[in-house]
Chains A and B, each alone.
Chain A
Amino acid sequence: MGNNLVLFSQRDEDLAFCGAVAASAGLSLRKVNRLSEVVDGVRDPERSVIFVDLGSAETLSSLEQVLQAEVGLFSELVNGNYFHFISDADFEECPWLAESPLMGSFILRNYRDPNEAGTRYGRLVGSSLKDRAFGLAGVLGPSARVQKVRLGRSTQKQEAVEAVRGYVVAAGFNNRMATVVANAVDESLMNAIFDAPVDASGKQEKAMVPRSEDFPLDGKNQVEMEIGFDGKVIGVSAIDQFGSIDKNRLLRHMSKVYMNEAYKVKSTSAGAGLGLSSSFQSGGSFFFVCDSGVRSEAMLFFSIEENYRKFREQFRFLATQFYF
């Protein structure tokens, strides 16, 4: 599925970026000038991938109105998995995007090199066009060797995090960069171990269990980790067997700003989100893939840079693929 990449943007750098995305994903690029033409892509039986310049909340609102009028905003034709929004403002500055049924993927327009960023993001788009987008290998460059590790017990998390930190330093990242990666992996594994397990009714089973508790990770509770490096980008993923990520909750967490008084951390709750949002703000790119009731994979990507400042300002995205 998906033979076309429909781009709604007047920006030259978006055209260059999406040209590289299309080439990398094996798609034909079609630039459109009116939001009504985006509807043609939504109606396309081959399901086009749609990239939209998210100029403001009004752009999104207009797109929602056009889709509502033409096909119905909640029709089967409208699927967030196919929408990619490009923005100058960071994700936490666009909380209205997190609330939109169209939100699938967010791209921060700090390409540096649109061709390189587009080629990289195109691998993710290509992966998203397969039946299921699981696996780091589909997103990292072709030279990456991906290793898989299975955690036997919950208390092996810290050991795994330190091993990742060592791997990242050995790959040439400096210590602060490695710390950011280690923290992101820590939070992702914690979510896979404690937040993913749900019972048949969807109720979380281990959300309130102390994070220091030791228990086996076997059967349905099995947690795996993948890690790979393609010479430019390091990827790490945490995989659970529940497929229980609540997309709306995830996006709300990722768009939170903890400096606002209203978002003070409640020390009495074990809620997730703080770690993931801070990892995203520290330079990481995320790709969440969730097959409901089957499996979830939280993939993290960080490109190696010559210093920490460039690392913080690297090309970033927050992508999702949800299968119901």
Chain B
Amino acid sequence: MVKVVREGSGNSLTIRLSGPIEESVNFEEIVGAVPGELRVITKDVPRINSVGVKAWIKFFQGVSVKGTKLVFAECSTAIVEQINLISNFTSGGRVESIYVPFACGQCKAELIGLFACDALKASGLEIPDLQCSKCPGKAVFDDIPEEYLGFLQR
């Protein structure tokens, strides 16, 4: 079940979602009143099923229609996959930053790195290798670039 932590004041609200988003989610209930700007952080959302996707789109489309500016930040790999898969997943909002998956060539550890979307675009979508945090090995981007970064090319 997804949980939410609300932060912010005035005209801006940040929500940090954590846990899988599935049929038990009720965004209206857990998010509450939404001001003029809503920042959505999904670093700790490991997966979202089709019912969760529908609830997500219904909620954020409703918020967007009312004039709220949407910003999606620290998007988890599960959320990035949905952004790439479904045309209206962000309901016209801006994707500020995403987690990019890496795999260590030596110890096979799974790692993630946070990248700002503007910086990725400026670099021509070049993703540098990372130093593995668990061994002296090098971690490389572990997905299909044209698919994982596809939304940045649209």
Interface residues of A (CB under 8 A from B): 158, 174-176, 179, 182-183, 186-187, 190, 210-212, 258-261, 263-265, 267-268, 270, 272-275, 278, 281-282, 306-309, 312-313
Q: Which residue from B23, B47, B86 sits with its C-beta under 8 Å from A210?
A: B23
Q: Which residue from A176, A186, A212, A265 sits with its C-beta under 8 Å from B77?
A: A176
Interface residue B117 (Cβ < 8 Å from any Cβ of A): no
Minimum CB distance partner of B151 in chain A: A259
Q: A307-B103, A309-B142 are in contact. Are A211 and B51 (CB under 8 A)?
A: yes
Q: A261-B87, A313-B144 are in contact. Are A308 and B54 (CB under 8 A)?
A: no
A-B contact count (CB 8 A): 86
Minimum CB distance partner of B20 in chain A: A158
Cβ A187 vs Cβ B49 within 8 A? yes
Q: A259-B85, A261-B87 are in contact. Are A267 and B23 (CB under 8 A)?
A: no
Interface residue B57 (Cβ < 8 Å from any Cβ of A): yes
Once bound together, how far apart are the Cα atoms of A312 and B22, in whole Å? 23
Minimum CB distance partner of A266 in chain B: B54
Q: Which residue from A212, A259, A312 sits with its C-beta under 8 Å from B86?
A: A259
Least Cβ–Cβ distance between A156 and chain B, in angstroms: 13
Cβ A267 vs Cβ B81 within 8 A? no
Once bound together, how far apart are the Cα atoms of A212 and B81, in whole Å? 24
Interface residue B13 (Cβ < 8 Å from any Cβ of A): no
Q: Kindly supply a per-residue 1/0 record for chain B positions 25-61, scoring 1 wherever the CB is within 8 Å of any chain A CB and 0 otherwise.
A: 0000000000000000000001101110111011001
- On chain A, the residues within 8 Å of B103 by CB distance are 174, 307-309
- On chain A, the residues within 8 Å of B55 by CB distance are 267
Q: A258-B85, A259-B85, A265-B86 are in contact. Are A275 and B142 (CB under 8 A)?
A: no
Minimum CB distance partner of B104 in chain A: A307
Minimum CB distance partner of B51 in chain A: A211
Cβ A265 vs Cβ B53 within 8 A? yes
* 8 A-B pairs whose Cβ atoms sit less than 8 Å apart in the complex: A179-B46, A258-B86, A258-B87, A259-B84, A259-B85, A267-B54, A270-B54, A281-B85
Cβ A174 vs Cβ B110 within 8 A? yes
Least Cβ–Cβ distance between A242 and chain B, in angstroms: 20
- On chain B, the residues within 8 Å of A212 by CB distance are 23-24
Least Cβ–Cβ distance between A112 and chain B, in angstroms: 15
Interface centre among B49, B57, B86, B147 (most CB of A within 10 A): B49
Interface residue B129 (Cβ < 8 Å from any Cβ of A): no
Cβ A179 vs Cβ B50 within 8 A? no
- On chain A, the residues within 8 Å of B147 by CB distance are 312
Interface residue B101 (Cβ < 8 Å from any Cβ of A): yes
Interface residue B71 (Cβ < 8 Å from any Cβ of A): no
